[in-house]
């Protein structure tokens, strides 16, 4: 328990660490899809779709706290997002596309 608390404190210590942790989290999305479909492109698409939808929801929540439907037209494209959310999206996307090329 102490190790997990120390890890969470370390991640919260700098914003870039949270973005880098998305690279580890990416495997929780890619592995099940890859094992079920036996398709690297499908697994890559799942990671991109997962992070895109997740970050788009965060942008909507920032735009209109408590009422996501009021912000339906906000944040559809990554370049409309804050820079830290862009990094959270682009790091796993770039990594999974690189893995897909290998």
Per-residue pLDDT band at 88 (split at 50, 70, 90):
confident
Higher pLDDT, 78 or 14: 78
CB 18 within 8 A of CB 12: yes
- Distance of alpha carbon 69 from alpha carbon 92, whole angstroms: 27
Please check the confidence at residue 66 and state whether its pLDDT lies above 80.
no
Mean pLDDT (whole number) for 11-40: 84
- Distance of alpha carbon 98 from alpha carbon 101, whole angstroms: 5
Mean pLDDT (whole number) for 39-56: 91
Higher pLDDT, 66 or 58: 58
Domain positions in the chain: 15-101
Per-residue pLDDT band at 33 (split at 50, 70, 90):
very high
């Amino acid at each position: 328990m102490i190790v997990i608390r120390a890890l969470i404190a370390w991640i919260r210590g700098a914003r870039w660490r949270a973005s880098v942790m998305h690279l580890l989290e990416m495997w929780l999305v890619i592995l099940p899809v890859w094992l079920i479909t036996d398709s690297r492109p499908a697994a890559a698409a799942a990671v991109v779709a997962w992070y895109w939808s997740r970050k788009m929801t965060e942008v909507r929540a920032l735009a209109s706290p408590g009422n996501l439907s009021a912000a339906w037209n906000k944040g559809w494209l990554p370049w409309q997002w804050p820079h830290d959310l862009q990094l959270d999206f682009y790091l796993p996307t770039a990594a999974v596309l690189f893995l897909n090329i290998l």
